[in-house]
C-alpha cells in the first residue's frame, strides 16, 4: 500500500490526450482505436476537442447529427471499457454573446446532452478566440473579457465538473490582466490549461509552472496542454520522437498532463506512448529509453528497414530541424545526396501484405514521404532567386506589380487596371553573406499593405521560439491571433499610401533582400499568408 501511494506521488494525477489540433479530426474508427490504446498505455483522460469539428467550434450552437451522436455513444462505451474518462470540450468564443441568456442556455443544453450520451465530463475552451469583447451587449454588461468568461464558467460549473482553457494560455502572449482576473473569479476546483512559456516550447521547467501560478494568482489545479507531438504548424512532417525537455519534477506544480496529438492515429502511437511513460514516472524518464520502449511496443519486427529509416528520420521533435527542413524553410541547407538516397530507399521497399500491421505503418508514412518528394522535385527545378530590377513589372495572378527607388524610399505599385489583392506583404531582410535565418528574422521588417482599403503599416517581428519556427509554414489564416502576436508595429518608421495602388516605405540601409507575397485570397490562400512567393537576392 505504501509503495502504491508513493508511486502516485511520483506521477501526474491526471494523464490525458487532448484531440485539440487544427486539421482533419480523427475518424470514428481511429478514435475507438486510440481510446483503447490510451487505456493500455496508461492515460486516464481523453478530451474530444478537434478545432475543425464544426460543432465544437465554428457552429457550436448547432446540434450534432444523430449519426454522430450514436458514434459518441460508442466512443463513451469504448472509453469506459478502457478505463479512460471521456471529456467533451466546446469552444464557443468565436461568436458567443456572453451576456445573452439564450446563448448560455444553448451551451448548457449541449453539454448536458453530452453527459447524457456517456461523456464523463465537459470542458470549456476559450483558446484562439478574440481577446476583447466584440458584442455591444457584452460591452454594456461586463467590464472585461475575463469577467465575461468567468460568468460563463461559474454558470456551467453549477451543472457539474468543468475544465477550462483560458484565452491567455501561454507566457508568450496574451493579457496577464485577463489571466489574473479570471483566476481570481473562477471556482477553485476548475482546472485551467497552460501550454508553458510558449505555444510549443522545447523546455517546460518546474519554475516555469510555479511562476505562472504565482504571478497570475492561480488557485485552481493547473493542467499542462503539451503541444507535442502535434504537427499542425509544420504539417509537412509527422513528429514521432519522444517528448523531452519536461522537468522531472513538473508534477509538483502541475496536476494534469495532456498531450496534443497529430491527425494520423497510427503515427501518434509512438510519441504518445513515450509521453505516457514520462507522465507516469517523470523523475526517472529517459527519452532514449522511452523511444526504444515505444518502438518495441508499436513497430512490427518484420517492418522493412526502409520504412524504419523514415521513422527514424521523423524522430525529430517539432522544435528541431531535420534533413527535410530546408525544403520548407528558406535559408536552411538541403543535403541533396542524402535526400536522393532516402527516396531511393523508400522506392526499394519490398511489398508487404495488404491490411497487415506493416502495411498500416507504411500507409501512414506514405503521404509524408510523397509530399516531401514533391517538395524536393520543386526545390530542384526552381531556379535560383532572380534579380529584381527596379521598374520591371512582375506578375501576380491576373495583375502585375513593380518596385521603384526614389532617394531613401522604395515604392511598390500595382498595375492600374488589375483588381487589387486583399493584402500585400513585403519582407525586408538584411542581405549578408552568411544569412541562414528563416526568411523573417528579428532584424527584418514586414510591410503589410491592405490594398483594398488603402491602409499600410510597418511591423517588426516579435518572435517567440514557436512563432520563429512556424511563421513561414503554419496556415495562420486558421488562427488569426497568431499573426497579430508574431508582429508589433514599428512606430519608428512610416509608410505612405497612394490609394490602393502604391505604397512608399523606407529603403533599408546597406544590402538587403526583399520578399513580396501577394496571395490571391489573404484569408484562405495557399501557400499560407506568409508564403515565400518571390525572394530576390539582388536588386538593380
DSSP string, 31-70: HHHHHHHHHHHT--EEEE--TT-TTTTTTTTSPPPHHHHH
Mean pLDDT confidence for 62-72: 97
In angstroms, the CA 309 to CA 325 distance is: 17
CA 269 to chain centre: 19
H-state helical runs in 336-479:
336-347, 357-381, 465-470
Percent of the chain with pLDDT over 90: 68
Where residue 394 falls among pLDDT bands split at 50, 70, 90? confident
Greater confidence (485 vs 202) lies with 202
Structural domains for the chain = 14-298 (3.20.20.80), 306-381 (no CATH), 394-536 (no CATH)
pLDDT band for position 177 (cuts 50, 70, 90): very high
How does 344-379 read in b/e, with b if 16+ C-beta sit within 10 Å? ebbeebeebeeeebbeebbebbeebbebbbeebeee
Q: What is the pLDDT of residues 265-299, one digit of tens each?
A: 999 999 999 999 999 999 999 999 999 999 999 99
* Average pLDDT of the segment spanning 375-395: 82
Average pLDDT over residues 303-329: 92
Least confident of 62-66, 102-106, 314-318, 531-535: 531-535
pLDDT score for 130: 87
Mean pLDDT is lowest, of 154-168, 199-213, 246-260, 413-427, for 413-427
pLDDT grade for 384, boundaries at 50, 70 and 90? low
Mean pLDDT of 94-115: 97
Task: Give the pLDDT of residue 98.
Answer: 98
Tell me, what's the pLDDT at 397? 73
pLDDT-derived band at 101 (thresholds 50, 70, 90) equals very high
Three-state secondary structure call for residue 153: helix
Give pLDDT, residue 361: 98
Q: Whole-model pTM?
A: 0.88
Q: Quick one: pLDDT band at residue 434, thresholds 50, 70, 90?
A: low
pLDDT of residue 537: 64
Q: To the nearest whole percent, how much of the chain has pLDDT over 70?
A: 89
Q: For residue 165, give the DSSP letter.
A: E
- Return the residue matching grid coordinates 502511437: 269
Q: For 25-42, what is each residue's pLDDT tens digit?
A: 999 999 999 999 999 999
Looking at residue 6, what is its pLDDT? 41
Q: Measured between alpha carbons, how far is residue 271 from residues 70, 278, 475, 509 in Å?
A: 30, 11, 23, 47
Q: Which residues pair with 89 in a beta bridge?
A: 123
The pLDDT of residue 518: 77
pLDDT tens digits along 202-234? 999 999 999 999 999 999 999 999 999 999 888
pLDDT, residue 532, reads 47
Amino acid at each position: 500500500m505504501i509503495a502504491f501511494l508513493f508511486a502516485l506521488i511520483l506521477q501526474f494525477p491526471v494523464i490525458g490526450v487532448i484531440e485539440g489540433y487544427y486539421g482533419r479530426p480523427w475518424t470514428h474508427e481511429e478514435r475507438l482505436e486510440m481510446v483503447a490504446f490510451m487505456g493500455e498505455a496508461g492515460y486516464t483522460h481523453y478530451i474530444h476537442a478537434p478545432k475543425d469539428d464544426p460543432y465544437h467550434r465554428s457552429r457550436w450552437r448547432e446540434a450534432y447529427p444523430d449519426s454522430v451522436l450514436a458514434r459518441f455513444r460508442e466512443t463513451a462505451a469504448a472509453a469506459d471499457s478502457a478505463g479512460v474518462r471521456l471529456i467533451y470540450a466546446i469552444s464557443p468564443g468565436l461568436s458567443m454573446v456572453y451576456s445573452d441568456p439564450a446563448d448560455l442556455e444553448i451551451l448548457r443544453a449541449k453539454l448536458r446532452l453530452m453527459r447524457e450520451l456517456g461523456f464523463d465530463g465537459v470542458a470549456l475552451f476559450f483558446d484562439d478566440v478574440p481577446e476583447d469583447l466584440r458584442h455591444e451587449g457584452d460591452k454594456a454588461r461586463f467590464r472585461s473579457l475575463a469577467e465575461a468568461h468567468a460568468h460563463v464558467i461559474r454558470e456551467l460549473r453549477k451543472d457539474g465538473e468543468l475544465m477550462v482553457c483560458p484565452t491567455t494560455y501561454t507566457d508568450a502572449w496574451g493579457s496577464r490582466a485577463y489571466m489574473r482576473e479570471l483566476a481570481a473569479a473562477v471556482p477553485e476546483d476548475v482546472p485551467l490549461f497552460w501550454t508553458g512559456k510558449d505555444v510549443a516550447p522545447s523546455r517546460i521547467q518546474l519554475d516555469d509552472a510555479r511562476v505562472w501560478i504565482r504571478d497570475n494568482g492561480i488557485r485552481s489545479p493547473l493542467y499542462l496542454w503539451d503541444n507535442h507531438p502535434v504537427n499542425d504548424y509544420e504539417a509537412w512532417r509527422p513528429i514521432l520522437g519522444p517528448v523531452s525537455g519536461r522537468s522531472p519534477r513538473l508534477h509538483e506544480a502541475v496536476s494534469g498532463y495532456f498531450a496534443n496529438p497529430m491527425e494520423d492515429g497510427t503515427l501518434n502511437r509512438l510519441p504518445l506512448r513515450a509521453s505516457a511513460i514520462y507522465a507516469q514516472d517523470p523523475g526517472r524518464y529517459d527519452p532514449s529509453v522511452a523511444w526504444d520502449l515505444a518502438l518495441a511496443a508499436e513497430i512490427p519486427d518484420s517492418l522493412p528497414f526502409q520504412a524504419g529509416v523514415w521513422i527514424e528520420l521523423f524522430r525529430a521533435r517539432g522544435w528541431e530541424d531535420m534533413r527535410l527542413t530546408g525544403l520548407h524553410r528558406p535559408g536552411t541547407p538541403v543535403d541533396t545526396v542524402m535526400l536522393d538516397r532516402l527516396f531511393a530507399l523508400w522506392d526499394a521497399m519490398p511489398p508487404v501484405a495488404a491490411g497487415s500491421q506493416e502495411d498500416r505503418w507504411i500507409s501512414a508514412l506514405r503521404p509524408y514521404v510523397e509530399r516531401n518528394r514533391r517538395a524536393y522535385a520543386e526545390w530542384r527545378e526552381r531556379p535560383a532567386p532572380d534579380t529584381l530590377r527596379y521598374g520591371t513589372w512582375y506578375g501576380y495572378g491576373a495583375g502585375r506589380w513593380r518596385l521603384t527607388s526614389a532617394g531613401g524610399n522604395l515604392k511598390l505599385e500595382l498595375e492600374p487596371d488589375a483588381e487589387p489583392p486583399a493584402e500585400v506583404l513585403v519582407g525586408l531582410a538584411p542581405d549578408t553573406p552568411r544569412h541562414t535565418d528563416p526568411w523573417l528574422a528579428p532584424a527584418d521588417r514586414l510591410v503589410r499593405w491592405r490594398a483594398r482599403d488603402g491602409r499600410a503599416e510597418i511591423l517588426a517581428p516579435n518572435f517567440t521560439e514557436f512563432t520563429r519556427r512556424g511563421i513561414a509554414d503554419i496556415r495562420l489564416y486558421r488562427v488569426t491571433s497568431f499573426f497579430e502576436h508574431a508582429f508589433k508595429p514599428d512606430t519608428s518608421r512610416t509608410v505612405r499610401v497612394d490609394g490602393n495602388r502604391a505604397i512608399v516605405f523606407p529603403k533599408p540601409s546597406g544590402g538587403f533582400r526583399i520578399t513580396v507575397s501577394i496571395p490571391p485570397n489573404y484569408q484562405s490562400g495557399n501557400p499560407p499568408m506568409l508564403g515565400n512567393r518571390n525572394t530576390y537576392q539582388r536588386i538593380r
